[in-house]
Structure 1
Amino acid sequence: MKISIERAALLKAVGQAQSVVERRNTIPILANVLIEAEGNTVSFRATDLDIEVVDKVPAMVERAGATTVSAVTLHEIVRKLPDGALVVLSEDGAAGRLTVEAGRSVFNLATLPKEDFPVMASAEYASNFAVPAPVLRRLFDKSKFAISTEETRYYLNGVYMHIADGDGGKMLRCVATDGHRLARIDAALPDGALEMPGVIVPRKTVGELRKLLDDDDMTIAVSVSETKIRFATPNLNLTSKVIDGTFPDYTRVIPMGNTRKLEVDASEFAKAVDRVATVSSERSRAVKLVLDEDKLTLSVNAPDSGAAVEELAVAYGDEHLEIGFNAKYLLEIASQVDRENAVFLFNSAGDPTLMREGNDTSAVYVVMPMRV
C-alpha cells in the first residue's frame, strides 16, 4: 500500500479514529486503526467493540492495500507535522512496518495484520430516516448533561431516543436523567422514523456523534435496530451498540400540576447562581431561592466558608416560596436556554420543579429540590 494525502484531511480522520480507541487495551489490535486504500479513497476504521467509526478521505492511491497501525501514535505524528504538508503512507508487508513521510520527516511504525482487525457485524436495521444536523445536534446537546455517570444504573448511562406523543402529534424525542434532573427534548418526526424502536444511545457514542454535527447544511442518515444505531454522512459512518436495558417511565416524574410561575432572564439568573455559589461548600453546593412578588432572592449559607445573597427582579405573582437546589444542576439547566427567558414552574419546596424556554414546550427540564 502506498498513498499520498493532505495533512488536514489525515488529521481529521485519524483524530476521529483515535478518540474511539480505548487507551487501555488488553487486545493489542483494538489500539490500532485499520487503513484501507482503494481507487482514489482511503478509509480509516477504529473500534472498541461497542462503537465503530469509518472515515473515508480522498487520496492519491499509488498502490492499493490495507494495514493496521497504532491510532494514538499516528495521530500524534500527524498533529505535529506542519500545516499544508503532503503525507505519504507506505506499507512494507514483509517487514511489518508503515512508513510515514512528510517533507524531511520519516517515521517507521509497527503494524499488525489487517486480518486480525474486528469488523462490527452489520445489523438489519428496522428503521432508516434522515435528520438535518442542527436538529440532531439540538436533541443530543440539550439532553446529554443529564446522563447519569452511575455505572450501577447502566440503563441511565445514555440518551433514550424514541418516538413519543408530543403537542403536535408524534415526535422524535430524546430523554436523559440521572434521578436528580431530567431533560426531555422533542423534534419533528422525520419521514420513515415512525416504526423506530426506542433505543438508549450510550454516553460515549453521544460524544463521538457530536463531532459529525458541526456542518449546519449536512443531513445525517440514521439507521436503528433493537441492538445497534448508525449515523452516516457521505464520508463517515458511526455505528454503535445501544444499551441493553429498559429506560424507566420518565413521564411519571414530569410534574403536570405546578402552577407557581417564575419568569426570569436566563443569562442573568445563571450568572447570579454562579456568583452566590462561589462561597458554598463543594459537597452540597446548595442555593436557596426565596420568591416574593416580582423578586427573587438567591442565597448561600456555608458555615465554614461564608454566606452570599443576591436579588433579581423577576416576573412572579404567586405566594411566598422558599426552595433549595444544587447550584450545579441549576446552572446546567439554565445554560440550555437559547431564548432570553427561562420559565420555572413550582409546586412546593419538596416537589420537582419544571423549567422550559418561554412558552416553548419542545424542551422541558425537571430538577429535584434539596433541603437547605
Structure 2
Amino acid sequence: MNDMTPMNTQYMSLYVEHADLTAGVAFLMRTLEKHKHIPILANILFPGDGTMQATDLDQTATWRLTGLGGGFVPEHQAFTVTADSLQRAIKGANKGCLVSFAIEAVDDEPAGRVVVSADGMVSKLQALPVCDFPVDMPYMKPSPTAVVFHMTAARMAAWLGFIAPCISTEETRYYLNGVFLNSRRGVLSAVATDGHKLGIMDTDHAWPVTEGRGPWNSDGIIWPKKAVNTVISALGKKATGYVQLTIGPIFVKVEHEQWSVVSKHIDGTFPDYTRVIPSLGKGFAGVNVDDAQKAITRLVGVLGKQGGAIHVDTRENTVGAKNGNEPTTLALTFTDVAEQVKDADDCNTVLDGFGVNPAYLKDALAAFSDCGVVHFTWDEGSPIRFQGVSWGWNADCYIEGVRIVMPMRY
C-alpha cells in the first residue's frame, strides 16, 4: 500500500538501517515544533514511499530512508509516530543493526501502535491517524514560474555559511529574519543584514530577470532563517554531492539525494541594501585574519564587561581599546593595498582609522578565514567594507562575498 489511507488490522514490516534512521530523525527534528494544541506536528510521517517527513506548517523536510543492502526502502503502509518517542526507541542500539517497524491494531486506538524493534529492544509507540498530518500546504505546490539552480553541496554550504551570521533575530523587523535571494547583475545573489552588519555573496549562476514573470523574480524572495539553518546543518562541514535550489513565487526548496527542505517565504519587503554598500573610501588596507583575531581577543579582555569599541589605526599599525580613561594599544601589521585602486593618490593620507564593535569585526574577519588575508576600505563616518583578495577593488562582483560593518564611536 503506497497511499495514505487509514490503517487496517494487518501487520506491516519495514526494515531501515539504524545509522540512516538516526540521522534522518535528527534532521527532521530541526523542523518539528512541539505544539501542545496540535500534537500531529510533533510526529514524523512515514507516507509509504520510502521517506520520512516532518512539518511545522511553514516548512516541510523530507528524508529518504535506506533499507536492506543499502537500497531504498520499498513501498509500505503509511503511519505516523512521535519523533521524541522514536528517538528514544532507537537510542543506544548498535549502529550497524536494522530497525524494524510493524503496525499493531489496538482497540480504542484508531491508528494502532507502531512496534519498533532495535537491537533486541521492542517499543510499542502511540500513533496518530495519517489523515491528520498536513501535506497540502500552498507553498508545496510546484510553480510554472519557478527558477531552478544546480550547484555542488560544498558551494551551497560555503555560500549560506558566509551569509547566515548576518541574519537578524529581531522579531519586530521580521523581514530581516532570513536571506534575501535576488537577481543582481543577472546572477543569483544572497543578502542578509541585522542592521549592524551586512553580508552579500553572488554566485556564478545566471538568473536573468524576465519582464512579466512576477514581482518576486525582480525583487527577490526572503528565505526564512529556520530553513536556511536546517539546510546548513544538513549539508554539514564536509558537504558532498549536488543540490538543486528551486525558487518560486512563495517558496524556496533545496533538494539533495538524501533529503529536501521546502519552506514558505517571508511575506515582506527587504530593504534596498545597495544604499548601504559604501563606495570606495580614502582608506585601504589588508590584514592577516589570524593575527587580527588574536589581537581582538586580547583587547576584548581589556574592555571588560562594559564593552566598547576597538580602534583600528592602519597608519600606526596598531589596534586599541579603552577601559574608562585607560587606553591600551597592541601592534598589528597592516598592508598597504591602495596601489590596487585607480586614482588612489590621496588614499591613507588623511584618515585616523576607525572604531568598530569587536564582535562585528571578529565575525567579518572569520568570514574570510580561508583567504588568510582580508582587505578592507573605509571613509570617515562611513561603513567599513571587507572583501576577499582575489579580485580588484573596482570590480562589481561579489563572488567571494562582501561584509559591511557599521562604525562605532571610539
What is the Cα deviation at residue 184 of structure 1?
Answer: 0.6
Code of the residue aligned with 1:200 in structure 2: it is I
Cα pair distance change 1:235/1:257, threshold 3 Å: closer
Code of the residue aligned with 1:28 in structure 2: it is P
1:9 to 15, 20, 34: 20
| Cα distance in 1 between the residues matched to 2:168 and 2:103 | 44
Which residue of the partner structure matches residue 187 of structure 1?
A: 203
Which residue of the partner structure matches residue 318 of structure 1?
A: 348
Code of the residue aligned with 1:173 in structure 2: it is S
Code of the residue aligned with 2:128 in structure 1: it is L
Query: 1:65 aligns to what SS in structure 2?
Result: coil
What is the Cα deviation at residue 110 of structure 1?
Answer: 1.0
Contact 2:299 2:320 in 1 (8 A): yes
What is the Cα deviation at residue 344 of structure 1?
Answer: 1.2
1:250 to 273, 290, 304: 273
| Cα distance in 1 between the residues matched to 2:171 and 2:133 | 29
Which residue of the partner structure matches residue 77 of structure 1?
A: 89
Q: Aligned runs of 1:23-42 on 2, under 5 Å?
A: 23-38=34-49, 42=50
Code of the residue aligned with 2:142 in structure 1: it is E
Contact 1:276 1:299 in 2 (8 A): yes
What is the Cα deviation at residue 312 of structure 1?
Answer: 0.7
Q: Aligned runs of 1:354-369 on 2, under 5 Å?
A: 354-360=385-391, 361-362=398-399, 363-369=401-407
| Cα distance in 2 between the residues matched to 1:259 and 1:144 | 29
Query: 2:190 aligns to what SS in structure 1?
Result: strand
Q: Does 1:123 align with 2:141?
A: yes
Q: Does 1:273 align with 2:296?
A: yes
Could you list the per-position Cα deviations for residues 280-309 of structure 1 after superposition, in whole angstroms to 9, with x for gaps in the alignment? Answer: 2445442122231xx4321222239x7643
2:373 to 317, 333, 341: 341
Cα pair distance change 1:182/1:20, threshold 3 Å: same
Which residue of the partner structure matches residue 408 of structure 2?
A: 370
Which residue of the partner structure matches residue 66 of structure 2?
A: 58
Which residue of the partner structure matches residue 232 of structure 2?
A: 210
Code of the residue aligned with 1:129 in structure 2: it is F
Cα pair distance change 1:24/1:117, threshold 3 Å: closer
Contact 1:128 1:193 in 2 (8 A): no
Could you list the per-position Cα deviations for residues 226-261 of structure 1 after superposition, in whole angstroms to 9, with x for gaps in the alignment? Answer: 111111123322110011111111001001131311
Q: Which runs of 5+ in 2 are unaligned?
A: 1-11, 337-346, 392-397
Code of the residue aligned with 1:318 in structure 2: it is N
Query: 1:112 aligns to what SS in structure 2?
Result: coil
Could you list the per-position Cα deviations for residues 66-118 of structure 1 after superposition, in whole angstroms to 9, with x for gaps in the alignment? Answer: 11111122123323222212211112143521111123211121111111000
- What TM-score do the two structures reach when normalised by structure 2? 0.82
Equivalenced residues, count = 361
| Cα distance in 1 between the residues matched to 2:294 and 2:264 | 39
| Cα distance in 1 between the residues matched to 2:30 and 2:302 | 37
Cα pair distance change 1:37/1:252, threshold 3 Å: same
- What TM-score do the two structures reach when normalised by structure 1? 0.90
| Cα distance in 2 between the residues matched to 1:26 and 1:101 | 30
| Cα distance in 1 between the residues matched to 2:74 and 2:277 | 60
Contact 1:258 1:354 in 2 (8 A): no
Contact 1:285 1:326 in 2 (8 A): yes
What is the Cα deviation at residue 202 of structure 1?
Answer: 0.7
What is the Cα deviation at residue 25 of structure 1?
Answer: 4.1
Code of the residue aligned with 1:20 in structure 2: it is T
Cα pair distance change 1:103/1:341, threshold 3 Å: closer
Code of the residue aligned with 1:234 in structure 2: it is E
Q: Aligned runs of 1:80-229 on 2, under 5 Å?
A: 80-94=92-106, 95=109, 96-119=112-135, 120-121=137-138, 122-125=140-143, 126=145, 127-165=147-185, 170-190=186-206, 197=217, 198-214=220-236, 216-229=239-252
Code of the residue aligned with 1:146 in structure 2: it is C
Code of the residue aligned with 2:200 in structure 1: it is R
Cα pair distance change 1:88/1:222, threshold 3 Å: same
| Cα distance in 2 between the residues matched to 1:282 and 1:156 | 28
Which residue of the partner structure matches residue 324 of structure 2?
A: 303
| Cα distance in 1 between the residues matched to 2:160 and 2:322 | 35
Code of the residue aligned with 1:327 in structure 2: it is P
Query: 2:156 aligns to what SS in structure 1?
Result: helix
Cα pair distance change 1:173/1:87, threshold 3 Å: same
Please report the RMSD computed on the Cα atoms of aligned residues, expressed in angstroms.
2.3
| Cα distance in 1 between the residues matched to 2:94 and 2:388 | 45
Contact 1:44 1:56 in 2 (8 A): yes
Structure number with higher strand proportion = 1
Contact 2:187 2:207 in 1 (8 A): no
Contact 1:285 1:328 in 2 (8 A): no
